[in-house]
Amino acid sequence: MEFEYGMILITLAVIFGLFMAWGVGANDVANAMGTSVGSGAVTIRQAVIIAAIFEFAGAYLAGGQVTQTIRSGMIDTGMLSQNPELLVYGMLASLLAAGIWLLVASQHGWPVSTTHTIVGAIVGFGAVGIGLGAVQWNKVGTIAMSWVISPALAGIISYWLFVSVQRLILNAEQPLEAAKRYVPYYMFLVGFIISLVTLFKGLKHVGLELQAHESYLIAFAIGVATMLFGRVAIRRLRFDPSADRDFHFTNVEKVFAVLMMVTACAMAFAHGSNDVANAIGPLAAVVSIVHTGEVASQSAIPPWILLLGAVGIVVGLITFGKHVIATIGSNITALTPSRGFAATLAAATTVVLASGTGLPVSTTHTLVGGVLGVGLARGIAALDLNVVRTIFLSWIVTLPAGALMSIFFFYIFQAIFG
């Protein structure tokens, strides 16, 4: 079929897609950087630079995998083969609804899930615009399960990571010497895990097809390089013995600040690869339908769309990220670089594992789970339960908010273009 408003629809999709990507940057990337800023390991300015480089790289190099799930996994697009224009209006409505909700949440400093938001929006228009039968409720169920599983998994990983830090380093006879000895091994872990999953899942559409043993070897090499970089960086640190008088671990935390820089880069890369899909999945669907006139379950994502998503994310962080950074970084529990490291590595590991299975988990949920796990390792009193309650409430509201706004906009677009 021919679209009489084809160019207008694509232009709207690009604008709303950018708006949604901006929201991902303002809300979600702020989460990814919140622990680093809150623990004092990096300044806001450094966080923005790190995020800009690594989010961009993650989104552009490894962002293709999850996009398919967001686009074709939520609703049965086969039911729309007769009138594909409905899917176009629905995807436009979803992007606009999700962008608005992220703007509201970021303004209030609520770390909500961009994945939740776009899934809620797509399910909302699918149920009303096409019919309840069009929604793949089993897929929605799987994603709903991931909202419980991902923070729980991140919480468990961060809890044990921090317990290992306490046993090996903080409770040692000479914590500073122990930190110098063990922190490079933690760095190896960061380099190895992130590069392994990126190699396994992320680089297919760049045309890089590697055998499993090649991926392991490359990841191992990157891990070793990260470890050596860490050794050199730690050796160059200047320690002041008198600084430990007020806080026993001041110099130890200096060593962890180097590690935190590495985990911040890893988290930004993992986040870019997983969450760019939220903004560009619906946009790619609109472009594909308008060009071909039919609903394809899979279509290649043009590089310019990945680029658009990556740019939107970076601009969102720079212009509006500070509100959510404060919530994650300092309001849930007091973070130091060693605690922030455990939370961030746990979250990044959970995200990359999930992105490997194509399951769109929420970076927000994994990170909050990681921060809670670290807090619990120090006892329940270390957590600000009021902040935790507000965060959980904002999570519950997100799905229906996305769905209701999306239904409203769907009818508007249908009235204008239909």
Structure confidence at residue 64 (pLDDT): 59
Tokens found for residue 242: 């008198």
C-beta of residue 23 within 8 angstroms of C-beta of residue 103: yes
The answer, yes or no, to whether residue 354 has pLDDT greater than 60, is: yes
More confident call, 164 vs 390? 164
Tens digits of residue pLDDT in 199-254: 765 555 556 667 778 888 998 999 999 999 889 988 888 888 777 666 667 888 88
Q: For residues 3 and 311, what is the distance between their CA atoms, to the nearest angstrom?
A: 28
Rank 196-200, 298-302, 382-386 by mean pLDDT and report only the highest.
Answer: 382-386
- The tokens describing 409, both together, are 């906009």
- Model confidence at 27: pLDDT above 60: yes
Residue 82, burial from CB neighbour count under 10 angstroms (0-12, 13-18, 19+): exposed
Confidence category of residue 3, pLDDT binned at 50, 70, 90: low
The pLDDT assigned to 19 comes to 95
CB atoms within 10 A of CB 69: 21
Q: What is the mean predicted confidence (pLDDT) over 189-205?
A: 70
Residue 11: what pLDDT?
94
Residue matched to tokens 């965060």: 391
Burial pattern 115-154, b for ≥16 Cβ within 10 A else e, equals bbbbbbbbbbbbbbbbeeebbbeebbeebeebbebbbbbb
Task: Yes or no: say if 9 and 86 are a contact pair by the CB < 8 Å rule.
Answer: no
Q: Give residue 313's pLDDT.
A: 85
Q: Is the dihedral of CA 325, 328, 332, 337 positive or negative?
A: negative
Task: Check residues 10 and 37 and name the one with the higher pLDDT.
Answer: 10
The predicted pLDDT at position 155 comes to 92
Model confidence at 189: pLDDT above 70: yes
**What share of residues in the chain are helix, strand, coil (percent, to 5)?**
85, 0, 15
Question: Which range is most confident: 216-220, 243-247, 349-353, 380-384?
Answer: 216-220
Among 88, 98, 149, smallest CA distance to 121 is for: 98
- Report which of 226, 260, 190, 258 is spatially closest to residue 37, judged by C-alpha positions: 260
Q: How far is CA 409 from CA 72, 96, 124, 164, in A?
A: 20, 8, 11, 50
Sign of CA dihedral 73, 79, 84, 87: negative
